[in-house]
Amino acid sequence: MRYGIYLVPAAIVLTLGSLACKPPKTAEEIKAETQAAFNEGLQAFKDGKARETNPYATAKDAKAIPHKIQGWNDGWDKGAADKAAADKAAADQAAADRAAAEAKAAADAKAAAEEAARKAAEAEKAAAFRKAADAALVSIHFDYDKSEIKEKDRAILQGISDFMKAFPAAKLEIEGHCDERGTNEYNLALGNKRAAAALAYLKTLGVDEARFTTISYGKEKPLCTEAKEACWSQNRRGEFKLK
Amino acid sequence: MSRFLIRTFLCALAVPGLFAQQTEVVLSATSSAKLVLAMTSPKVTGLDEAKVGTEFTAVLKRDLDETGVIAMLQEGLPADAAPVKAWKEAGAQWLLSTRFSRAANGDLQLEASALDTAAEKGVFTRTYNANRIVPLRHLAHYLADDLVGRLTGEKGVASSRIVFVRQLSPGVKEIFQVDRDGAGLVQLTRHGSLTLSPTVAPDGRLAYVTYKGGAPEIWGQRRKDGPHEKFYPLTGAGGMVSTPVWSPDGKRLAFVQGDRRGNSDIMVLDLLTGRARRLTDGNGISTEPSWNPQGTQIAFTSDREGGPQVFLMQDDGSNLRRLTGEGLYNASPAWSPNGAMVAYVSRFEGKFDLFVYKLGEGKAYQITTGVSTSESPAWSPDERRLVFTSNRFGSSQLFTTDLSGRQIVRLTELSACQSPRWLRGR
């Protein structure tokens, strides 16, 4: 029994001894623990916890684990820094996007304005073309069974020539027409002769004859159908149609 | 069937003074040269007698009256059962009897016979069979044609048809066909465009000009009853083309090609090879070709010597000579089916009239007489009549006339007609 007196302190000594003699942690272990704490700190930041909630700072053995405290804090700081960087990047991107959108809108508006201006110019040009065509493309008239260009129609043909020179892309069909007197077939030939006479005259005014086609309608398309000279004289005509 | 018939006995006496400068003689049709034919009432069993009266007897009488060689005895007719001698005394040279009967299957049979009243012996017997869809009026036409054939050696033209152009709306003209008596109107083209100048080959093939593609083109049928297809120009733009006319053998088409200098030339298109050959020489207007019946010569209108005149040439363009002498505007020549005459129109004091030039005599005869404008003559296949257009009742309509100009018949009540062509129906 008397050995017991020694056994208890021995046990205590052994125990304390064993505690006191716990071997020191290796560098790898510390590094691993630091990394683990770092990850915890990073996660804590992501979870929205405050930096003051570092569990290692309030642990009983806080003094023994400064690397964990530091690791946790580093992790939390890293999370905060990453977020700040991401926020900034997002803000920068948004700003860049806004700027790009604004630039594109401006460019679009400019293009639209240019297109509208071009269309307006085109429409104006077309209107001018139509107006010029309406003014220039006046019918000429012929004497009965004749295809000679009349003196009084020369101004009309000059106007047509001016029109063709002002609008180099314009092409015309010259139609020859006749009055109802005479045979259908002979009048088709006579209408061709009238269209040809107009073509020949325009050629002498310097317009390329390739820009004209000729067609004869003979007496098949009268403007007026009464059997009197007032009507016949209207029907003996050369018409100029845009092609 | 709406049909309006007018016999106009024009007062030929009042006019020759006016036309003395163009006219030598007015042809006269003497009724004494015609055979006087009388007809007993048809004997009818199995069908409606009134229908036979309107659709057969009346049509036959009109047909025979228009033949120019038969005169119907209309007045002082003996009773149907009277002896032949009584008919002879009434003036009839031939007595025609007809009998209608219906077979069990509904088919119709017409037996016709004619008797020479002087010799009292039969001169004509023929039986006609017709199914339900053949109208009675066609039987009348067939009988009229055969009676004329028996009398003259050449079949009549009662069953013939006329092809022509009609305006449907401004700028839209189409080709139509109508029976010689104005019945049976049929529209032959539907281009919805200006369609002009029909010509019909002996086998019935049609050709014409249409503006459906903008510029005028010649279209037609390559084979009988075949589709209408483009003949010319096959590629590219042809400029002004007009006036196709089949050669008598139906293998070639004469037509007119205009150039950009204002000339129009007669061309001939060989349908087999597709080659077109120019016959005239680019000297002003040459148009309105018309073949002689052998297909060896062409009559045409040309302004090469001033106003339009009728010329003749060989079908290779050689041997060109002027036909018409007097008048300032002679055009629209139509060579007669037997080749001895050329019909044409001539203008005098603003009116156009029909003339016939007899090649053998070297003389022109006036047919119509200045009542109004008459145009576009075309011969009947038997050469006894001309179809033409006239505005004598307003808008241009179709008429036919005999060569005396005294028996003018209005063909249809259709307005805005032009360019008639007359062809045999069977």
What pLDDT, on a 0 to 100 scale, did the predictor assign at position B260? 94
Any domain includes A1: no
Nearest by CB to residue B196, choosing from A181, A184, A189, is: A184
**Chain B within 8 Å of A189 (Cβ-Cβ)?**
yes
Of A145, A189, A217, the CB nearest to B258: A189
Q: Could you say which of A135, A155, A171 is where a domain stops? A: A135
Chain B contact for A171, CB < 8 A? no
Helix (H) or strand (E) holding B176: strand B172-179
What does pTM read for this prediction?
A: 0.78
Verify whether the Cβ–Cβ distance B216 to A184 is below 8 Å: no
Give the chain A residue whose CA is nearest to the CA of B173: A220
**CA dist B252 to B268, B269, B271, Å?**
7, 6, 6
Residue A180 within a domain? yes
pLDDT bucket at B369, cuts 50 / 70 / 90: confident
Q: Which residues of chain A have pLDDT under 50?
A: none
In a domain, residue A112? The reply is yes
Q: Of B32, B35, B41, which Cα lies nearest the Cα of B64?
A: B35
Mutate which: B168, B209, B217, B264, vs A, most A CBs within 10 A: B264
Whether A141 maps to a domain, the answer reads: yes
Find the mean pLDDT for residues B6-16. Answer: 34
Rounded to a whole number, what is the distance in Å from the CA of B181 to chain A's nearest CA?
25
Spatial separation of the C-alpha atoms in residues A146 and A141, rounded to whole Å: 10
Residue in chain B closest to A229 (alpha carbons) equals B350
Per-residue pLDDT of B27-63, as tens digits, reads 334 445 799 999 999 999 888 888 898 899 999 999 9
CB–CB of B176/B161 below 8 Å?
A: no
Residue A2 in any domain: the answer is: no
For chain B, percent of residues with pLDDT exceeding 90? 74
Rounded to an integer, what distance in angstroms lies between the CA atom of residue B329 and that of residue B302? 10
Domain boundary among A107, A135, A163: A135
Clarify whether residues A95 and A189 are in a common domain.
Answer: no
Q: Do B194 and A221 touch (CB under 8 A)?
A: yes
Tell if the CB–CB gap between B262 and A188 is shorter than 8 Å.
Answer: no
Confidence at residue B370, expressed as pLDDT on a 0 to 100 scale: 72
Cβ of B260 and A196 within 8 Å? yes
Nearest to B376 among A184, A189, A215 (CB): A184
Minimal C-alpha gap between A234 and chain B (Å): 16
Of B171, B262, B308, the CB nearest to A197: B262
A145 shares a domain with A125: no
Q: Read out DSSP for A66-123?
A: HHHHHHHHHHHHHHHHHHHHHHHHHHHHHHHHHHHHHHHHHHHHHHHHHHHHHHHHHH
Assess whether pLDDT exceeds 50 at residue B230: yes
Residues A30 and A124 in one domain: yes
Amino acid code (one letter) for A35: Q
Chain A interface, best mutation among B199, B242, B332, B389, by max A CB count within 10 A: B242
- Quote ipTM for the complex: 0.86
Nearest to B250 by CA among B200, B213, B208, B296: B200
Closest CA to B78 of B44, B43, B40: B40
Asked whether residue A126 falls in the same domain as residue A159, the answer is no
A115 contacts A107 by C-beta, under 8 angstroms: no
Residue B16 pLDDT class (50, 70, 90 cuts): very low
Give dist(CA B398, CA B416) in Å, integer: 9
Dist CA B333 CA B354 (whole Å): 10
Are B268 and B295 in contact by the 8 Å Cβ rule? The answer is no
- CATH number of A187's domain: 3.30.1330.60
How distant is the Cα of A155 from the closest Cα of chain B, in angstroms? 22
- Residue A2 pLDDT: 62
Report H helices in B91-127. Answer: none
Tokens read off for B302: 């040309």
* Contact status of A15 with chain B (Cβ, < 8 Å): no
Contact B259 A196 (CB under 8 A): yes
Instruction: Give A136→chain B minimum CA distance, Å.
Output: 22
Give residue A200's domain range.
137-242
Using the Cβ of A193 and the Cβ atoms of chain B, whether some distance falls under 8 Å is answered with: yes
pLDDT for position A14 = 64
* Nearest C-alpha in A relative to B262: A193
Residue B21 has pLDDT above 50, yes or no: no
B12 vs B368: CA distance, rounded Å: 9
Q: Do B347 and A181 touch (CB under 8 A)?
A: yes
B215/chain A closest Cα distance in angstroms: 7
Name the closest residue on chain A to residue B287, using Cα atoms.
A186
Looking at CA atoms only, how far is residue B227 from chain A in angstroms?
25
A124 shares a domain with A154:
no
Q: Are residues A101 and A145 both part of a single domain? A: no
A216 touching chain B per CB within 8 A: yes
Q: What is the pLDDT of residue A29?
A: 86
Listed in sequence order, the DSSP H helices in B68-216 are: 84-90, 136-152
The alpha helices in B75-230, defined as continuous H runs, are 84-90, 136-152
Q: Give the residue from chain A lying closest to B330, CA to CA.
A: A182
Banded model confidence at residue B322, pLDDT cuts 50, 70, 90: very high
Let me know whether A77 and A188 are in one domain. Answer: no
Decide if pLDDT at B71 tops 70. yes
Q: Which residues of A touch B345 (CB under 8 A)?
A: 183
Same domain, A27 and A112: yes
Termini Cα distance of chain A: 136
> Would you give the DSSP letter of residue B8?
B
Chain-chain contact of A192 with B240 (C-beta, under 8 angstroms)? yes
Domain assignment present for A149: yes
CB B307 to CB A184 under 8 A?
no
Chain A: nearest CA to B358, how far in angstroms? 21
The residue of chain B nearest to residue A209, with distances taken between CA atoms, is B260
Q: Which residues of chain B does A221 touch, with a Cβ-Cβ cutoff of 8 Å?
A: 170-171, 194
| Total count of domains within chain A | 2
- pLDDT, residue B377, reads 97
- Residue A221, C-beta contacts closer than 8 angstroms, at least 6 positions apart: A177, B170, B171, B194
A12 and A131 assigned to the same domain: yes
| Domain boundary, last residue among A92, A117, A135 | A135
CB B159 within 8 A of CB B152: no
pLDDT band of residue B5 (cuts 50, 70, 90) is very low
Higher pLDDT, B26 or B398: B398
Please give the distance of CA B232 from its chain centroid, rounded to a whole number.
Answer: 27
Tell me whether residue A89 is in a domain: yes
Q: How much is the mean pLDDT over chain B?
A: 89
Q: In chain B, which residue's Cα lies nearest the Cα of A210? A: B260
Q: Which of B214, B243, B260 sits opposite A214 (nearest CB)?
A: B260
Contact status of A209 with chain B (Cβ, < 8 Å): yes
Say whether B258 and A184 touch across the interface (CB within 8 A): no
Residue A46 at interface with chain B, using a CB cutoff of 8 Å? no
Mark yes or no for CB contact B256/A185 under 8 Å: yes
Contact flag A213-B215 (C-beta cutoff 8 Å) = yes
A115 and A154 housed in the same domain? no
Interchain CB contact of A233 with B (< 8 Å)? no
Hey, are the CB atoms on A183 and B375 less than 8 Å from each other? yes
- Report the distance separating Cα B61 and Cα B96, nearest Å: 11
- Within this chain, do residues A186 and A229 fall inside the same structural domain, yes or no? yes
Query: Is A50 found in the same domain as A163?
Result: no
Query: Which residue from A181, A184, A196 is facing B262, i.e. has the nearest CB?
Result: A196
Residue A113 falls inside a structural domain: yes
Q: How many CB contacts within 8 angstroms connect chain A with chain B?
A: 106
Condensed to tens digits (0 to 9), the pLDDT of residues B77-90 reads: 999 889 999 999 99
